Amino acid sequence: MKRGIRKLAREIRNYFAGVEKLRVTPRVSPAEIRRHLEERFDFRQPQPLEELIPSASSLLRAWTLHTAHPRYFGLFNPAVRPAGVAADALAALYNPQMAAWSHSPIGNELERHTLRWLAPRFGLDPDASAAHFTSGGAEANLTGVLVALTHAFPEYGERGLRALPAQPVFYVSEEAHHSFHKVAHLAGLGREALRTVPVDQELKMDLGELERRIAADRAAGQAPFLLVGTAGTTSAGIIDPLEALAGLGDRERLWLHVDAAWGGAAALSPKLRVHLAGLERADSLTCDAHKWLAAPMGAGMFFCRHPESVARTFRVSASYMPDPTRETVDPYVTSIQWSRRFIGLKVFMTLAELGEPGLIRMIETQAELGELLRDRLRRAGWRIVNRTPLPVVCFSHPRLEEGKPSVRELVERAQERGKVWVSEVLLGGRQSAVRACITNYRTQSADVEALVQELDRCVSEC
């Protein structure tokens, strides 16, 4: 055990110290991995922990796409802080059952403390709002839709959607996260209840079109109940016009949920928060600490300014659960999950390790590196095709526009070479572009320069 723990500490140290020397992308086939696992892990004989730890770690090192690599310019997967690694180990070690306050007083209070610190950054009064940790953004978005439904249609909870006189419908932009398709399905609304509203030239939700759709739906006897704005779209980091959406929500009496899964972190920065104006008017919002706040997956968060609607949605009572404690909340009666892992510890420890100034510096540095990348790409003859103050950069090149090579070929070439990771996106459903996001607090200007050189090389070699 002692030797195993020492080996684990060494693996952690070595990975933090040397990840930048690894290939970003793994080179392996499913058959090779399956053969290896079948040969080495038939579970017939036990293996000593001190051997198991380095062998599991070496498999991960060889056959994982290294999102912790400073040249991973990828999806919203951050390099995690050491505090997050330590927190996940402690969470597994103590394995507190977070469902009931009385089973983990410190766990529940520590999550409450963390969420209460974050709430005012999103414009919420911690004494008049509800918040809890989720597995991720998809669960937080599902939570938002369920609570909005319960708020709008009190009979939905007992008698279901069939009791409603009209079909409830809700609105997202074409560029919103695709978790909402699943949410519409899971909530029993049906995927057709999700209205995807076109975007304007800047890839923001087209509010004129939104108003027309709401009016048409009402005229057709449907029951609009929710608007979803995105603060930092997955493809291009676009922020929908949140103020205007909130105004429309007020006029039309519709709940506003803001999916700020990635972009919500910008609310912590005095320089960037201006771009999220209107977020503070949301009825509910999603923010993932496992995106821009450098916590390990999954660390989603759901915030809501209507605690009574949250409580109504998830209410339940079971004789086998511990009695509630006065003045505290049991998360199993205010959220989707029942048994809960101690998600909040890694967020608490990451915030505590960095401190507010460190968090602000991390977020603002990444935004500045996004600007640097735009500048370097332009100088090298690339064309930036999205407009956002956040560090997601979508771009094209005259050669890509001629199809020689295609964006897909360029991206595949870069991924195959394994020095950087970028991806392809389709913007507004029509324009293919290369996408690069600064997701890593260890990425520096030299990595940005290296990315541009690598892309130049790939575009000329393809």
Ligand X SMILES: Cc1ncc(COP(=O)(O)O)c(C=O)c1O
> Would you tell me which residues interact with ligand X (CB under 6 A)?
76, 136-138, 141, 177, 179, 230, 234, 259, 261-262, 288, 298, 300
- Please state the closest distance from residue 428 (CB atom) to ligand X, in A: 16
Q: How many CB atoms lie within 10 A of CB 75?
A: 15
286: part of which helix (H) or strand (E)?
Answer: strand 284-288
Cis link prior to 96 (omega < 30° from 0)? no
- Please state the closest distance from residue 392 (CB atom) to ligand X, in A: 10
3-state secondary structure of 167: coil
Give 225 or 262: the residue with its C-beta nearer to ligand X. Answer: 262
How is 76-111 classified by DSSP, letter by letter? S-PPPPHHHHHHHHHHHHH---TTSGGG-HHHHHHH
- Please state the closest distance from residue 300 (CB atom) to ligand X, in A: 5
Q: Nearest to residue 24, comparing CAs of 436, 366, 460? A: 436
Widest distance between CA atoms in the chain: 70
Joined together, the tokens standing for residue 194 give 């999700």
3-class secondary structure per residue, 37-54: HHHHCCCCCCCCHHHHHH
- Please state the closest distance from residue 137 (CB atom) to ligand X, in A: 3
How is 338-371 classified by DSSP, letter by letter? SS---THHHHHHHHHHHHHHHHHHHHHHHHHHHH
Joined together, the tokens standing for residue 302 give 């759901």
Give 181 or 383: the residue with its C-beta nearer to ligand X. Answer: 181
Give 77 or 222: the residue with its C-beta nearer to ligand X. Answer: 77
Give 119 or 392: the residue with its C-beta nearer to ligand X. Answer: 392
- Please state the closest distance from residue 134 (CB atom) to ligand X, in A: 8
* 373 touches 386 (CB < 8 A): no
Give 100 or 363: the residue with its C-beta nearer to ligand X. Answer: 363
- Please state the closest distance from residue 107 (CB atom) to ligand X, in A: 21
Give 84 or 137: the residue with its C-beta nearer to ligand X. Answer: 137
- Please state the closest distance from residue 234 (CB atom) to ligand X, in A: 4
Give 104 or 235: the residue with its C-beta nearer to ligand X. Answer: 235
- Please state the closest distance from residue 142 (CB atom) to ligand X, in A: 9
Pairing of strands 194-197, 130-134: unpaired
Joined together, the tokens standing for residue 405 give 């090579």
* 255 touches 283 (CB < 8 A): yes
The Cα–Cα gap between 94 and 105 comes to: 13
The Cα–Cα gap between 229 and 285 comes to: 9
The Cα–Cα gap between 21 and 283 comes to: 45
Cα 69 to the center of its chain, rounded Å? 18
Residue 298 is classified by DSSP as P
- Please state the closest distance from residue 298 (CB atom) to ligand X, in A: 6
Give 261 or 347: the residue with its C-beta nearer to ligand X. Answer: 261
Give 191 or 212: the residue with its C-beta nearer to ligand X. Answer: 191
Amino acid, res. 142: L
- Please state the closest distance from residue 71 (CB atom) to ligand X, in A: 20
CA neighbours closer than 13 Å in the CB half-sphere of residue 132 = 28
Joined together, the tokens standing for residue 169 give 């419908």
* 23 touches 62 (CB < 8 A): no
Give 101 or 262: the residue with its C-beta nearer to ligand X. Answer: 262
- Please state the closest distance from residue 435 (CB atom) to ligand X, in A: 12
Give 67 or 141: the residue with its C-beta nearer to ligand X. Answer: 141
